[in-house]
Structure 1
């Protein structure tokens, strides 16, 4: 079977890592590639924002990660959605994961629902809207969703939006990064150049950095230094990102994927709310914490405790959710597939 993944492709740690993880999860079904995307003009605007979090010198680390670990298609997913040969080139198209359906992204369009592909060839795995309210785009998105017969979401809020828009009950499944084990992630991890030998905590804050003093206090209490991914002191791509989480003393973040990797590697975790007046992106943490009983990891809650996790219970729950997620993916992939 030939399978194509349609997802965001940006200079973003979580995005690149989930793309790789979904590719790995799909490999048992056949040959897997990620569709190249025609660049929209608005992507330049989006990349200006990216530079706040990823220093330009680290871009080469992202390109190297993609070249080594992500297989891309020869075909290009065009903006006008006219690709007469694309639908025939693959047996299945998997949309996701990550915020591929976030209507607030400047590059979001009907392209992200693959209207040029027959419905029977499409499924969406662990997709996120990134928001809990679609605003004036709700009716438009409802129309797009009708063309995707098999949908699973990453967040409870997303599943509720799909139910409201289509009347369909869709499951919440694991982000692809959680389908891989820490041992799987070791294969792509790489120690950053210039990394000191001191004990350190991993800091990755995407919103306004209003908790700097609180995070520094946590580091001091652990006798550790702070490695801030966004300060530009080291070249950090996706591989370095994985290594840092795997080898730190604790994780302090407002990032969903940093939180996921902290849980996978059994690290003390402090989840700080994203301080950003433009959007509320807390729904993904609501679901993550519900699934794994990690509410006390959220710094906003009473009883905040970075060491609250029962890791034995976490692994039991993770195994259950992995099985459910793989079962859904297997069922959706094999609908309508005939084997010789």
Structure 2
């Protein structure tokens, strides 16, 4: 297919699950590209029986180590059987996610098998991966999120892709170098991602903002109008992991300020949120998630995107590392973003001994940083997608 017959960009996004952040960053990515007049399609790729991994000696080592870790965790880890409320909640969240994809995303193309993926890629000017944690070490052995499926002549773009880890193990370097060197426009979301790529390839990846930051507070309010989900006068707790000490801190803050605690029940863990929350919400949409942040007096979270929308909406916020059984810590994204905005004092590392900062966040300063970061990131995106 010649250049004149190609059009638009094929998007490799983390859009399939029920995570609010993943859904909203997928929406923001497609929205920002189409705002630039670019036709997009979201690739709903199913592997079939082929090409999960690029097989090499390193791949066998990586798979063996990964299998050993998962086997150990499954055998010796404490299993939690969810109660009926959590089972119903998880089912409801999946249905809500499906509805959001139907309402807010479009041009989702189902591709069954690697051959279909390659053939579809031939129709695009470019393919793009991003954002979220789509480049863990094992992406080195994948043909999909590495964009190795793209034929010659099709531009490869990474926008704000997160590695989610502090470093890659040495035995993935050779394969990682191959795919990273083929990315035409290379950007990452965090400093650690930059350092990993620099060490492996010598290339300087551009550090850009999460796509949700590309949309201003005012523009988000036009896209998702501000509506009251529950009565005001509350602290919003949104936790994806298990952190009873952090939840106790939320309760302490609320009692000190004579506020209620409102939370959305997690669909990823099965903790008893009645230990700290006055109102436990289920069945909330991604739009509700944003509006609960907008109308809160303060937000406590272990979620990158709950922190993100707190900053966009200039809310008082405290963030902690996520604690989740069977999941390795991926704290560098939180470390990165609080350092970027100069709000390290709002990162709670020791809930037992944390002292609340009663001085409001200086959003005159923070919002200016966000605007400049967004502007630089938009310029990268403009350059990467020019002519698509």
Q: TM-score, normalised by structure 2?
A: 0.76
Task: Name the residue aligned to 1:297.
Answer: 346
Please give the secondary structure, in 1, of the residue aligned with 2:148: coil
Task: Name the residue aligned to 1:235.
Answer: 283
Quote the offset at 1:243 in angstroms: 1.2
Number of residue pairs matched?
Answer: 327
Task: Name the residue aligned to 1:115.
Answer: 148
- Unaligned runs of at least 5 residues, structure 1: none
Query: 1:129-176 CA deviation, whole Å, 9 max, x = no partner?
Result: 111122243433222212212111000000111111111011110000
CA distance in 2, matches of 1:131, 1:162: 12
CA distance in 1, matches of 2:356, 2:380: 34
Query: 1:74-130 CA deviation, whole Å, 9 max, x = no partner?
Result: 352x5536534212222221111111112479xx93311222213651100000011
Q: How does 1:12-27 map to 2 (within 5 A)?
A: 12-27=19-34
RMSD of equivalent CA atoms: 3.0
CA distance in 1, matches of 2:81, 2:227: 26
Task: Name the residue aligned to 1:5.
Answer: 11
Cα pair 1:203 1:229 within 8 Å, conserved: yes
Quote the offset at 1:183 in angstroms: 2.5
Cα pair 1:128 1:158 within 8 Å, conserved: yes
Please give the secondary structure, in 2, of the residue aligned with 1:270: strand
Query: 1:160-195 CA deviation, whole Å, 9 max, x = no partner?
Result: 111111110111100001111223223235758xx5
Quote the offset at 1:56 in angstroms: 1.7
Cα pair 2:232 2:295 within 8 Å, conserved: no
CA distance in 2, matches of 1:40, 1:258: 34
CA distance in 1, matches of 2:232, 2:367: 29
Please give the secondary structure, in 2, of the residue aligned with 1:305: coil
Q: In the alignment, which of 329, 332, 337 is matched to residue 283 of structure 1? A: 332
Task: Name the residue aligned to 2:216.
Answer: 181
Q: Is 1:215 matched with 2:264?
A: no
CA distance in 2, matches of 1:52, 1:104: 30
Please give the secondary structure, in 1, of the residue aligned with 2:145: helix
Query: 1:276-304 CA deviation, whole Å, 9 max, x = no partner?
Result: 46422111112211221111111128765
Quote the offset at 1:308 in angstroms: 4.5
CA distance in 1, matches of 2:317, 2:128: 31
CA distance in 1, matches of 2:341, 2:25: 19
Task: Name the residue aligned to 2:94.
Answer: 59
Cα pair 1:101 1:127 within 8 Å, conserved: yes
Cα pair 1:82 1:116 within 8 Å, conserved: no
Quote the offset at 1:18 in angstroms: 0.3
Q: How does 1:1-340 map to 2 (within 5 A)?
A: 1-9=7-15, 10-27=17-34, 28-38=36-46, 55-76=90-111, 78=112, 80=114, 83-103=117-137, 109-118=142-151, 120-135=154-169, 136-186=171-221, 187-188=223-224, 195-210=229-244, 211-230=246-265, 233-276=281-324, 278-300=327-349, 305=357, 307-334=359-386, 337=387
Cα pair 2:189 2:210 within 8 Å, conserved: yes
CA distance in 1, matches of 2:242, 2:125: 44
